[in-house]
Amino acid sequence: MTWGVAGLGVTIGSEVALSGIDLEIHPGTIVAVVGGDGAGKTTLVRVLGRLIRPTSGRVSLPARLDVGYQSSSSGSWPDLTVIENLRFVAEAHRMSSDDARKRLDELLATTGLESASDRLGSQLSGGMRQKLGVAMALVARPLLLVLDEPTTGVDPVSRSELWRLFSKAAAQGAAVVFTTTYLDEAERASHILALESGTTLVEGPPESIRDSLTGKVWRTPERPASSYRWRRGREWREWTADGSPPAAGSPVEPDITDLLTAATLARDEQLV
């Protein structure tokens, strides 16, 4: 069964938060929803978490018991210990005590939170708290795992460990969807949905996004005169709509950060 949204529109008050969003989330895959602040990422995952009713469109979701959800604040209770947080989720899902014990032991081992199992949520580091949030979302072996910015504010080591959790969940058959503002993270996903101002900027597997890019990306050592430029480390990138070479520069194989930045510029070009 494939989950997702089709023609999704969400209007909050008089503001259109999402419009015409299509997304399919297949079991065993990881979907990254990327975009800047206010792009509509959280609104989309809140729809998938049944926290917001869509204004228009179609939403396909498994039963509530089969959706694991992590809010951007991790969703863990600061005045409960790690094990108490996990146990509460297991009890809410009416898991048998044997099944719950095995599952919680397994999750504590996978997340590396075993030694912190008696520590209060408020005493955890940012990365540990996010790992606890993901573990809580995974307790009931969900068919659909929805994670809102699970890696934001987390150090690179913890980010890598969190990715291991997503990958394991997907390998076990869950459909995983997560939001992020880190474009480099999207590269590791099997499918990307890039949002801008509540609409789809680009959508598809990373390779198809690469193929769909119109124009070309160039590497330039000096700051280009064109306004379609962005900085990458010590170098500059420039996008040309017709693919023609700039005054100075060499062609570059764009990574996902370049692709999404160029796609944003391409849309601006169309709007102009």
- Write the binding mask 135 to 174 for another protein: x where contact by CB under 8 A, - elsewhere: -x--------------------------------------
Tell me if 60 contacts another protein by CB under 8 A.
yes
> For 121-158, b where at least 16 C-beta lie within 10 A, e where not — what string?
beebeebbbbbbbbbbbbbbbbbbbbbbbbbeebeeeb
> For 17-42, b where at least 16 C-beta lie within 10 A, e where not — what string?
bbbebebbbeeebbbbbbbeeebbbb
Contact 31, 177 (CB under 8 A): yes
Tell me if 74 contacts another protein by CB under 8 A.
yes
Minimum distance between the CB of residue 70 and another protein, rounded to whole angstroms? 8
Which residues lie below 8 Å from residue 47, measured CB to CB, with a gap of 6+? 5, 8, 10, 18, 53, 54, 59
241 exposure class (CB count in 10 Å sphere: 0-12, 13-18, 19+): middle
For another protein, the closer of residues 135 and 262 by Cβ is 135
- Alpha-carbon distance of 269 to 272, in angstroms, equals 5
Minimum distance between the CB of residue 171 and another protein, rounded to whole angstroms? 24
Tell me if 81 contacts another protein by CB under 8 A.
no
For another protein, the closer of residues 49 and 127 by Cβ is 49
Tell me if 50 contacts another protein by CB under 8 A.
yes
Tell me if 82 contacts another protein by CB under 8 A.
no
How many CB atoms within 10 Å of residue 96?
9
For another protein, the closer of residues 136 and 194 by Cβ is 136
For another protein, the closer of residues 51 and 109 by Cβ is 51
Taking CB under 8 A as the binding criterion, the range among 32-40, 59-67, 97-105, 209-217 that sits at the site for another protein is 59-67
User: Which one of residues 28, 38, 51, 106 is an interface residue with another protein (CB under 8 A)?
Assistant: 51
User: Which one of residues 18, 41, 69, 219 is an interface residue with another protein (CB under 8 A)?
Assistant: 69
Tell me if 125 contacts another protein by CB under 8 A.
no
Amino acid at position 7, single letter: G
Tell me if 78 contacts another protein by CB under 8 A.
yes
Query: Which region, left, alpha or beta, applies to residue 206 given φ > 0 means left and ψ of -120 to 50 means alpha?
Result: alpha
Contact positions vs another protein (CB under 8 A): 7, 9, 47, 49-65, 67, 69, 71-78, 89, 92-94, 136
